Chain A
Amino acid sequence: TQLLEQSPQFLSIQEGENLTVYCNSSSVFSSLQWYRQEPGEGPVLLVTVVTGGEVKKLKRLTFQFGDARKDSSLHITAAQPGDTGLYLCAGESYYGQNFVFGPGTRLSVLP
């Protein structure tokens, strides 16, 4: 069974601060995705990383896939209240059958 761990579980910061959340596993994944989920809604895909060591930037968000394809990080620069939500990482096995989701990091950005 492939398991993903995310840390921290909860994070509350002030607007303008920087933060990094982590997604770790003992398993190797063919790709890894990050989703954001807001209350009352389903998760929405932010990014997919495929290559070990890959870095992708999406405005103030920077995503990195570990060299060994077992871990990933999401860094947010100058966080805004609109960044508030549950951030989920999901790893795809090499068999491509389904994504395994981590438990999420619940981020609260206070104005």
Chain B
Amino acid sequence: DSGVTQTPKHLITATGQRVTLRCSPRSGDLSVYWYQQSLDQGLQFLIQYYNGEERAKGNILERFSAQQFPDLHSELNLSSLELGDSALYFCASSLGVNTGELFFGEGSRLTVL
């Protein structure tokens, strides 16, 4: 158990819809990262938050947005969903602003039909 909690574990929705994925980081960790993992793309970095502020942005689509709340949990919002958005979405946390060791949650599997 990494200490990182992600919900929901599985989500099935239709194209054009919007979903929200939730992540609670490991106790004491201030950084939260979101990654997308698909079979043909590997683990792609989306975005990082540190103590409520956006720290780094990767290959995140404009249809996607995220935020980190004062209690340090984070949400990833995916809108206008397309078939190609089907993937595993991982949240990871680390203690500090620089990366160090990443602790990953078990992921949220999104299926867009």
The answer to whether A42 and B106 touch across the interface, beta carbons within 8 angstroms, is yes
Of all chain A residues, the one with the shortest Cβ separation from B40 is: A103
State A100–B45 Cα separation when bound (angstroms): 7
The answer to whether A97 and B56 touch across the interface, beta carbons within 8 angstroms, is yes
The answer to whether B104 and A43 touch across the interface, beta carbons within 8 angstroms, is yes
Measured CB to CB, the residues of A under 8 A from B are 33, 35, 40-45, 48, 88, 90, 92, 96-104
Assess A102 versus B45: contact at CB under 8 Å? Given A42-B106, A42-B107: no
B96 → A minimal CB distance (Å): 9
Count of residues in B whose CB is under 8 Å from the partner chain: 23
Counted as pairs of residues, one from A and one from B, with CB atoms less than 8 Å apart, the total is: 54
- CB-CB under 8 A from B101, the residues of chain A are 33, 45, 48
- CB-CB under 8 A from B33, the residues of chain A are 98
- CB-CB under 8 A from B104, the residues of chain A are 42-44
- CB-CB under 8 A from A103, the residues of chain B are 42
The answer to whether A101 and B42 touch across the interface, beta carbons within 8 angstroms, is yes
B30 at interface by CB-CB < 8 Å: no
